[in-house]
Amino acid sequence: MSNIAEIQTSATSVSVAELVALRKSVGKLKRRAGRRVKAPMAGSSSSAALGRGLDFAEVREYHGGDDVRLIDWKVTARTGRAHTKLFNEERERPFFIALDLRPSMYFGTRVALKSVIAARLCAMVAWAAEAQRDRVGGLVFDNTRITEVKPQAGSRGVTRLLHHIAKMHSSSTPEVFDSEPLSEALMRLNRCAHTGSSICLVSDFSHFDAGPHTSNLLLHNHTAAVRVYDPLEAELPPPAEYTITDGRSRGRLNSTSSRVRQQYIDDFGFRTAQLERAFTGAGNRFIDTTVIDDPIEVAAQVMNALPGGA
């Protein structure tokens, strides 16, 4: 955390100035990511490299290691041999960042609220994507609203997204709970993300249900799903009785039962396994991080997991 300590201003809130200042982290992030980019990806022209983009190039026979999502089933059926589609890699890829600011994200016992850590992480990833000439946009959503920012080249797209993040973070109502917006946000993201897009989804994935909209999103895009959680959500504190509060009322937490403690750990492990199954494979990756982890390290993992990384 010392890498960005000089620009962290609060454990419970974020500002546009703070998120914009995180642009300074891109150099450190690139070194952590160990990127193998040999030339700057400037301009909107296509390269000769074949990869996942938006411009169709050709159909050829399937080779071992090809992305099964790009199999051309019509040609395969006609010829009796598996064929795959190839695309000219687009220089300016759409890069979507989806940030969850629902009530469960406004929780934290170490360093900062999950929502604050998630916002900073999204800012770092957004600036890193802009540095590799991707068009940055995304979704910001809470318990009642979903704000869409269309991908745009240059720093303007990033700053628009960061303004919406800071605005929604300061105006959300954590006391109003609603378990539906995550599914709604994924459906919206599925509609606005074009095939071949890079997606960074940052959430605690509370009330997550891997429905058809999730499968379709992962089938046609490269997605890095990042779960941000507080250590207290993975394991109860040392055996004792604790006073807990949500800011309005108080209660008691008894963590002395070894059976309850183990069940708590098992339940968290079960949810983790579900998320790993939902978001791992076929060009997608699940990344788990706590609020005490170095966000630059996590952002480097995200960029490595998506097109253009190492």
Same domain, 54 and 132: no
Note whether residue 310 is domain-resident: no
9 shares its domain with 67:
no
Quick check: is 271 in a domain? yes
Same domain, 28 and 54: no
Pairing of strands 135-141, 94-100: parallel
Is residue 21 domain-shared with residue 103, that is, in the same domain? yes
197 and 59 both lie in a single domain: no
**Residue 229 forms beta bridges with which residues?**
290
Q: State which of 74, 90, 106 marks the end of a domain.
A: 90
> Quick one: 56 and 186 in the same domain?
no
| pLDDT for the residue numbered 89 | 53
Domain extent at residue 269: 2-36+94-305
Its pTM surpasses 0.85: no
Query: Do 89 and 53 meet the contact criterion of CB atoms below 8 Å apart?
Result: yes
How many Cβ atoms sit within 10 Å of the Cβ of residue 212?
Answer: 9
Question: Residue 125 and residue 134: Cα distance in Å, rounded?
Answer: 11
When divided into structural domains, the chain yields a total of 2
In a domain, 189, yes or no: yes
User: 68 and 149 share a domain?
Assistant: no
pLDDT in tens for each of the 310 residues of the chain? 444 555 557 899 999 999 999 999 998 887 776 544 333 333 333 333 344 445 566 788 887 767 777 888 988 998 999 988 876 555 568 999 999 999 999 999 999 999 999 999 999 999 999 999 999 999 999 988 999 999 999 999 999 999 999 999 998 776 655 556 788 899 999 999 888 899 999 999 998 888 788 888 898 899 999 999 999 999 999 999 998 877 778 889 899 999 999 999 999 999 999 999 999 988 899 999 999 999 999 999 999 999 865 4
143, 256: one domain? yes
CB 183 within 8 A of CB 205: no
Among 104, 102, 171, 103, residue whose Cα is nearest residue 139: 102
Q: Specify whether 266 is located in the same domain as 134.
A: yes
What are the backbone dihedrals phi and psi of residue 261, each rounded to the nearest 5 degrees, phi first? -60, -45
In a shared domain, residues 193 and 259:
yes
What integer pLDDT is reported at residue 283 of this predicted model?
Answer: 82
> Which residues touch 50 (CB under 8 Å, ≥6 apart)?
57, 86, 87, 88, 89
